[in-house]
Amino acid sequence: MAESESQEGDDDNRGNKVQNLNMDMEELLEKMEKLTVHAAWMAYDCISIQTNPDLHDAMQHLEDAFLMCKEQMEKKWQEVLME
């Protein structure tokens, strides 16, 4: 009787390990898909910049404007918190 209970416990444990492995594999596949999409966009951006140098300047201008706006928002937020 003890042997059959031990075997059932082993089967349950093995089933849990397989289920955990499947979940881990799904998570890894999702991460790989996201990385693949990110790499594809990076390649697209590189090709776009190489074929149109003005695009790089425009993107740099947008990034600078964003950083200045972000800085101003942080300053205003600090002022609001001080009041």
44 and 12 inside one domain: yes
At 3, is the pLDDT very low, low, confident or very high (cuts 50, 70, 90)? low
Q: What angle do CA 77, 65, 62 make, to 5 degrees?
A: 135
12 and 47 inside one domain: yes
* Furthest CA-CA distance within the chain: 79
Model confidence pLDDT, tens digit, residues 31-73: 999 999 999 988 888 887 778 878 878 888 999 999 999 999 9
Whether 21 maps to a domain, the answer reads yes
47 and 19 inside one domain: yes
**2: pLDDT strictly greater than 60:** no
Q: CA 19 from chain center: how many Å?
A: 24
Whether 3 maps to a domain, the answer reads no
At 81, is the pLDDT very low, low, confident or very high (cuts 50, 70, 90)? confident
47 and 18 inside one domain: yes
Q: What angle do CA 39, 25, 17 make, to 5 degrees?
A: 165
64 and 41 inside one domain: no
Alpha helices in 1-83 (DSSP H): 2-51, 53-82
Predicted TM-score (pTM) of this structure: 0.47
60 and 46 inside one domain: no
Domain region containing 66 = 53-82
